[in-house]
Structure 1
Amino acid sequence: MRRRAAAWACVVLAAALSGCTSAAYYWQSVQGHLALMNAARPVDELLADPATPADLKARLALARRIRAFAVSDLALPDNASYHRYSDLKRRAAVWNVAAAPPYSLTLRRWCFPIVGCVGYRGYYDEADARALAAELQAREGLEVRVYGVPAYSTLGWLNWAGGDPLLSTFIHYPEGELARMVFHELAHQVVYVGDDTLFNESYATAVERLGVQRWLATQAGESARRAYAAFDAHRREFRELARETRGELAAVYEQKTAPAPARQALEAMKSEAMARFRQRYAALKAQWAAAGAPFDGYDRWVAEANNAFFGVQAAYDDLVPAFEALFAREGGDWPRFHAAVRALARLPKAERLAQLRALAVDYRFDSW
């Protein structure tokens, strides 16, 4: 799961000008991103350095090919981003906190200068993220999720300073996953709409999926194609299960305005929906194992699943079919596709959502 970080220099300046009281939060953002940027070295320099481990050289060379492909074949930005590499010496770039009420999938939102309001708050220190989560649980009774993300985008704001670097948190991903990551993050430099996480993340997810299809078909070897197909099959089936469960939970939560005595029944229905989710996941795992492709990568997700977990997942999934439909409508032409997305971004939020929903209803991408 990936989230956007603010262009820190602009954010801090805007916060200062607006009299922002969250100085400590913005300061940790500045320090964290500065450390990430200062650790970055040019990819060409690392490839020429005899001290660079051979396996890292191979991954950096692959990332350089992926970066060039993003420009030549996907019409993604040709700029300073992803031409440098940072070894963060930790397992995540940042840790995000998401939270939702007990009877809603709508995420609590935090608002920032420049980038607007988003359904998460990010920290460079995992302990700080967990402290906020505990506070939200205790003070507001929210269901919370703390999750590490391997990358984030500064939306192109810092290309003048070297841009977003490749990171140790994802450089060793399998080939298809590495390409997916780069394509997703570069998409955020093409179009980003303040206060519309669903639009932004669904668009970037569509770009990654479509882009990886083309990369694997034209640039990758058979082993990379097989590895990606196996992993992506698990991911798609799990996401479909999560989507179905979100629908069930949403139907339950529509009844939350019932009188207080009915809340006990509401809680029972919620518990039943969550139990069905876990039972169906167990059946899915058994199906994978029987097919000779066992996978347990979602075990922790399922064990800890709550409204915040499902709310985060929705941002990455719900409008993807609509953007894939838009890509097909534009004849699979990447510049035309990006231009069409920019045109949607200029519309009022309700209008662009309505247009995307209509596209999704009228079209099945897998028939294109």
Structure 2
Amino acid sequence: MQKSFPLVLSLFAALALGGCASSSGDSTLGYYWQSFRGHMGIMGAAKPVQDWINDPSLKPALRERLALAQHARQFAIDELALPDNASYRRFAQLGRAAAVWNVVGAPPYSLKLHTWCFPVTGCIGYRGYFAEADAKAESERLAQSGQEVSVYPVPAYSTLGYSNWLGGDPLLNTFIGWPEGDFVRLLFHELAHQVVYAEGDTAFNESYATAVERLGVEKWLSEHSSPKAQTEFTTSEKRRAEFRTITRNARAALAQVYDNGDADTTDGRAQLEWEKQRAMQAFHEAYAQQRKRWITEDQVKPDQLTNLDRWVREANNATFGAQGAYDDLVPAFIALFEQLGQDWRKFHAAVKDLANQPRAERQAALIALMQSTPPQTAASAEPTGH
């Protein structure tokens, strides 16, 4: 479940940049303008949750979900020490299936994501657009430079708290109807971005927020949810976990190929390409076997696997690289949470301290946390799959 924040942290930042060209060829001013206009469109469509609930014409299912959202919002404050602010206290119907569309890219023989650099957020490994056509146009420009590219829909994003003076990031129709467990975990993830943000370190930021969502949803389901919602989440999480194992193995295999290969010579590139295709074939075969087990043993209907089928079919260095940003460091953050006695305030404070360290020191600290975690703890903290 991937998320994003579009780079619209303030109108002043957007207007201060001028019209210089970005690395991908479109004007920076044009990009910021579409971001500002798109975000303000969402803000303008939002109104207080209670106003929606009081509307007698509102469908009962949506009224019930909005009430649950406010319960989960208060839980995030009281139990997870997440911000008590204006975010997720309003709701907007966007009339579309995604909040934004992200563009990611990576070289032919690397999982390192292409980065775009901006004020406040630093350099990050994706770029968000409020119109799918604009995202596809950017991906085409990036592909022309030789990058492998991917465009994917994003149901929610965080403005890191910068929009709270405008009413806060709202709940959206793009995720309001998700199963309860998935819905509340997304709220926790986006709120976590408002607690800690390390400039230019996508993997750190997303892995921290992913750890918060996984720990938070576990607590929510055990204390505030129905048996039906718990069973539903456990079933879907098992499938995500098994998929994460397959993709993590594929990322490791590809990384080994690229690290040991030689792209500087014709023969070296030919060998790299052959080994890359072999690793990709192994990935597709592993997924096909797991897919068969889901259908025959778990009674999963094929139409429930449509999104995973598409992800596998379109998988490339960019999609693997983007997934790794949300996955790879999660065990370190969960280990830190356990070391601090599962104290949320101490945990957030420790992560803030890490965010303030130089990137190399921060990375070394996270690696040490993972290496110090007993195997059984790591396995339970980081289920196998996505």
After TM superposition, the score normalised by the length of structure 1 is 0.96
* Equivalent residues of 2:181, 2:233 under 8 A apart: yes
**2:121 paired residue number:** 115
In structure 2, relative to structure 1, the CA distance for the partners of 1:326 and 1:262 (3 Å cut) is same
Counterpart pick for 2:334 among 311, 324, 327: 324
Amino acid at match of 1:355: A
User: CA separation in 2, counterparts of 1:193 and 1:330?
Assistant: 21
Shift of 1:115: 0.8
User: CA separation in 2, counterparts of 1:317 and 1:126?
Assistant: 25
User: CA separation in 1, counterparts of 2:380 and 2:137?
Assistant: 47
Question: How is 1:203-222 mapped onto 2 (pairs within 5 angstroms)?
Answer: 203-222=208-227
* Equivalent residues of 1:101, 1:141 under 8 A apart: yes
Amino acid at match of 2:107: P
Q: Secondary structure at the match of 2:128?
A: strand
* Equivalent residues of 1:97, 1:147 under 8 A apart: yes
Shift of 1:291: 2.2
* Equivalent residues of 2:86, 2:164 under 8 A apart: yes
After TM superposition, the score normalised by the length of structure 2 is 0.92
**2:384 paired residue number:** none
User: CA separation in 1, counterparts of 2:326 and 2:313?
Assistant: 20
**1:338 paired residue number:** 348
**1:3 paired residue number:** 4
| Deviation sequence 1:226-274 (CA, Å, 0-9, x none) | 0000101111111121111111101111213453222112101100100
Amino acid at match of 2:115: R
Counterpart pick for 1:313 among 316, 323, 339: 323
Amino acid at match of 1:338: H
Q: Secondary structure at the match of 1:192?
A: coil
Question: How is 1:11-90 mapped onto 2 (pairs within 5 angstroms)?
Answer: 11-16=13-18, 21-90=27-96
Amino acid at match of 1:113: P
**Does 1:92 find its partner at 2:80?**
no
Q: Secondary structure at the match of 1:145?
A: strand
User: CA separation in 2, counterparts of 1:238 and 1:285?
Assistant: 9
**1:357 paired residue number:** 367
User: CA separation in 2, counterparts of 1:342 and 1:136?
Assistant: 34
Moved more, 53-62 or 206-215: 53-62
Shift of 1:51: 1.8
Shift of 1:8: 3.7
* Equivalent residues of 1:8, 1:33 under 8 A apart: no
Question: How is 1:231-270 mapped onto 2 (pairs within 5 angstroms)?
Answer: 231-254=236-259, 255-257=261-263, 259-270=265-276
Q: Is there any run of 5+ residues in structure 2 with no aligned partner, and where?
A: 382-386
Amino acid at match of 1:179: V
Q: Secondary structure at the match of 2:17?
A: helix
Shift of 1:19: 10
**Does 1:292 find its partner at 2:302?**
no
Shift of 1:353: 0.8
Q: Secondary structure at the match of 2:105?
A: strand
* Equivalent residues of 2:19, 2:29 under 8 A apart: no
| Deviation sequence 1:68-99 (CA, Å, 0-9, x none) | 10001000000000000010110000001101
In structure 2, relative to structure 1, the CA distance for the partners of 1:49 and 1:210 (3 Å cut) is same
User: CA separation in 2, counterparts of 1:14 and 1:270?
Assistant: 43
Shift of 1:289: 2.1
The CA RMSD over aligned residues, in Å, is 1.6
Amino acid at match of 1:246: R
User: CA separation in 1, counterparts of 2:147 and 2:380?
Assistant: 41
* Equivalent residues of 1:46, 1:52 under 8 A apart: yes
Shift of 1:14: 4.1
In structure 2, relative to structure 1, the CA distance for the partners of 1:10 and 1:69 (3 Å cut) is farther
Identical residues among aligned pairs (%): 51
